[in-house]
Chain A
Amino acid sequence: MRYDPELCRKCQSIDCLTRCQYIKLDLAEAKEERLKIIEGKDSRVLRECATCYACEEYCPYDNHPFYLIVERQEQLKLWPAPVPLTKQQIKMMAPRGKIVPFKVNKPVVNLCFFPMLAGCIRGKLFEGASVISGSDIFCNLMWLHFAKSSVIKERLPQMIENIMSYHLKESRVDEIICYHDECYGTFTHFARALGIEVPFKSIHLFEYLAKRLLELKSQIRPIKAVVAYQRPCSSRLIPETERWLEEIFRLIGVERPERKYDRENALCCGTLIRAHQRDELADEIQKKNLDDMKAIGAEYCVFNCPACFFSMREMVQERGIKPILLSELCQIALGQGLGW
């Protein structure tokens, strides 16, 4: 992994730990814990990490503090989730070897492990799009939540190879649209940090939507609603995509007012915290997050991550806010009905 311990040692602010929303550490404590992590020793950070990825964004040197935490957890066998849960999930999401080659056309939308969302790829917004998905092209980044970098390292090269050889190469296509932040983060951030080569270009869904909406601008009917955005963990790897999100919201005529738990202070959806058996913490952050959404008068809670969407949609609804995937919100602005 591309990680420089010297950069860490010299860092004075230790943003990765002092800004953590889940572990309270003052600067002195952060220094102590940082040293333990660098030296591969047990640290309360390794035991209490909520695996929210945020420290990857907070690090001013792009030195991958979160990837290091995960590496250390795995080395020291400090499993954040019960072992049977991790083992079962890894088995469940293993490549099935059932991928079949088929020709694709641009734009090629990668739905990752969420084939059930295929209905979202429709209409003017995705005209002529091909969809790829399934366990054989699954990015596998989620194992960061389970202290299992080794699984990602083992599976990712094959996934990349599958995307190329089963879909892109024969079709002479060299780019994919990543519907999920997780895939985009994997191909553009994690793979780079690990030195894994990615032979195709990854385009984030936000960039694709923003550009497409611009082309369809005359057909947009502004939604005129206040929205809260549920930022997913993997977007912490790719904060540069935020500007596209702002552009989309502007184009479809929704307002995303400032709120406490958005942008760099975004809170986890809670799913993985529950997998870590920390229900009280998950309850607490979900409540804070929903109260915050309610306080700005959000009509919609917009998700891009399907996992966040599936885990939070009922509770969002209970609070009188409409849960919606970003691409579906764009479909509404274009006068299309909900497809999923």
Chain B
Amino acid sequence: MKEIIKELQKIVGEKYVSNHPEERFIYSRDPGTMEPAEPDVVVMPNSAEEIQRIMLLANERKIPVVPMGGGLVLSGLTRALKGGIVLDMKRMNRILEVNEKSRYAVVEAGASQGMLQSYLKKHHPKLKHSIPDAPPIATIGGNVLIHGSGHISAIGGFHSEMLNGLEVVLPTGELLRIGSCSVTPYWFSRSPLPDLAGLFLGWAGTTGIVTKLAIRLYPDWKFNDVNVFLAEDPEITQDAIFRITATAIPEDVLAALSPKPDWVAGFQMLSVNYGAESKKELILKRDLIRESVWKYIEEKTGGFLPLPAEMKARFMEAPQSQLARFADVRKGGGFEYVGAIMPTELFAQACRLGIEIGERRKVSYSLGARIIGMGHCMMFFFAYAFNRGDKADMKRAQGALEETNERVLEIGGIPWKAEVPAQKQIIRKMDPKTFELMNRLRAMLDPNGIMNPGNWEL
């Protein structure tokens, strides 16, 4: 390994290679429940060319490589399960282009959500990107590649659907482009070409290293508002989601339910965010959203909370800091969730399931769903907080997560950014032919099996 480290230092500079125990410790884990797995060395490249050279070296020596963005995935996908190199992309954080007219941005894969957010606010105040409810240091690249979702997902779908193009270094060291940028200077779309982006989306870094990507941008409205619909029957909330998304107005629809504090127990809150260029338009949109659920307002079985501006601001915050508070509710910094991608029609069933598991296992839980598209599907989250310093508490959360993954698959959902055990659960449910194709593609792209080994394997 000494020799490898010297080679790596030659490529990226001494400062950006480390096999110190402190670094190996930090890079062995994330805030979730997965057991730590230490890399042999951590490398921080600064260019696609450096990555190409690292990959040529790693491929020749058959050294595992684990690409990493913000390291906040929570399900342990950036742990070096077979040792080797963790490739930390955070130095490659440049914002390369913002095209105002065609509404897209080209960024390096290590650019963070917070960086792009503040860059746009400063230089292109009429545009914004879809921000996940993750800390601002989460990377845009990482989130797109795990099929993340965020504050504009009710319009734009998954963040991977907002992807216009990629630049990728293959495990064998070749650099290539995918999408319109492979044909023209513009990064405007993946269509109408054969869509090769799918070779890198959702693979947990097992097929290559994305170095650049283009994402869609959206109007940053002059006026914004949020309406929070409250009901106490999950079936009503499910139908409200269906009705509200049919208006095609909201940018974000987020449901939340929790047993604590006691005054929210038994209720579902559905926050519906939208914006407009004028007050008049904003009021019109508000009225149309309200009209869509008028049936429940008339029946008095659901309605919108009258919130003062200060409280509305909290619901309109992107990312939402309130969610971070739950993440540390048990103190000790442990938090993980099963984000199940599932059809919206399973909302009520998922609510009941989450409550049943949380109550029976006596874990601190919080449930909710971000609606993707016009109710086409949702990311339903079963979130569990635990005290990392309390082994029994952590064990309880682990048990709840495992059971949730299993039960989600049973009812027809799929765990998102699945931990290794959940990946195996998914594979077992998967059409064997699909898994066979995955393996053939992977073997073709990564003949030596060096990319994030241990993931998407049985």
Contacts and interface: CB of A to CB of B under 8 A. Distances in A.
A279 B286 contact: yes
Nearest to A312: B308
A277 B290 contact: yes
A83 B300 contact: yes
A25 to B, nearest CB: 23
A24 interface: no
A265 interface: no
Contacts of B286: 279
A10 interface: no
B204 to A, nearest CB: 40
Say whether chain A's binding surface is mostly helix, strand, loop, or mixed. helix
A84 B267 contact: yes
Nearest to A318: B279
Contact of B296 (A82, A88, A271, A311): A82
B283 to A, nearest CB: 7
B306 A311 contact: yes
Most buried by B among A83, A87, A280, A311: A83
Interface string B303-327: 1111011100000000000000000
Interface string A266-294: 00000110110101100100000000000
A98 interface: no
Contacts of A295: none
A318 to B, nearest CB: 9
B301 interface: yes
Contact of A88 (B230, B297, B310): B230
Given A82-B296, A311-B306, A279 B267 contact: no
Contact of B287 (A91, A279, A310): A279
A85 B263 contact: no
B302 interface: yes
Given A82-B300, A88-B230, A279-B287, A271 B262 contact: no
Contact of A314 (B264, B303, B309): B309
B306 A271 contact: yes
A274 B300 contact: no
Contact of B263 (A92, A279, A280): A92
B255 to A, nearest CB: 14
Contact of A82 (B262, B287, B297, B310): B297
A150 to B, nearest CB: 17
A313 B313 CA distance: 14
A88 B306 contact: no
Interface string B277-306: 000000100110010000011001111111
Nearest to A83: B300
Given A274-B306, A277-B297, A311-B306, A84 B263 contact: no
A12 B286 CA distance: 43
B155 interface: no
B231 interface: yes
A84 B306 contact: no
B262 A91 contact: yes
B232 interface: yes
Contacts of A311: 306, 308
Contact of A84 (B231, B262, B287, B308): B231
Most buried by A among B286, B300, B309: B300
A103 B131 CA distance: 50
Contacts of B308: 271, 310-311
A314 B309 CA distance: 7
A85 B305 contact: yes
A84 B232 contact: yes
Given A91-B262, A91-B263, A314-B309, A85 B303 contact: yes
A161 B441 CA distance: 75
A277 B306 CA distance: 8
Contacts of A84: 230-232, 267, 301-303
A275 B230 CA distance: 11
B303 A82 contact: yes
A92 B230 CA distance: 14
Interface in A72-100: 79, 81-85, 87-88, 91-92, 94
A257 to B, nearest CB: 28
Given A88-B264, A279-B286, A283-B283, A82 B302 contact: yes
A79 B287 contact: no
Contacts of A280: 287
B434 to A, nearest CB: 43
A83 B298 CA distance: 11
Interface string B346-387: 000000000000000000000000000000000000000000
Most buried by A among B232, B267, B306: B306
B443 to A, nearest CB: 54
Contacts of A275: 303, 305-306
A79 B232 contact: no
Interface in B226-267: 230-232, 262-264, 267
Contacts of A94: 263
Given A82-B230, A277-B290, A272 B297 contact: no
A92 B302 CA distance: 17
Contacts of B302: 82, 84
Most buried by A among B283, B302, B308: B308
A193 to B, nearest CB: 27
Contacts of B305: 85, 275
B261 to A, nearest CB: 8
A308 to B, nearest CB: 10
Contacts of A271: 306, 308
Nearest to B311: A310
Given A94-B263, A279-B290, A283-B283, A85 B309 contact: no
Contacts of B262: 91
Most buried by A among B232, B264, B303: B303
Contacts of B296: 82
Contacts of B306: 271-272, 274-275, 311
Interface of B: 230-232, 262-264, 267, 283, 286-287, 290, 296-297, 300-306, 308-310
The 3 closest A-B pairs by CB, nearest first: A82-B303, A274-B306, A92-B263
30 contacts: A82-B230, A82-B300, A82-B302, A83-B301, A84-B231, A84-B232, A84-B301, A84-B302, A85-B303, A87-B232, A87-B267, A88-B263, A88-B267, A92-B263, A271-B306, A271-B308, A274-B304, A274-B306, A275-B303, A275-B305, A277-B290, A277-B303, A277-B304, A279-B286, A279-B287, A279-B290, A280-B287, A310-B308, A313-B309, A314-B309
Interface of A: 79, 81-85, 87-88, 91-92, 94, 271-272, 274-275, 277, 279-280, 283, 310-311, 313-314
Given A82-B296, A277-B297, 19 more contacts: A82-B297, A82-B301, A83-B232, A83-B300, A84-B301, A84-B302, A84-B303, A85-B303, A87-B232, A92-B263, A272-B306, A274-B304, A275-B305, A277-B303, A279-B286, A279-B287, A283-B283, A311-B308, A313-B309
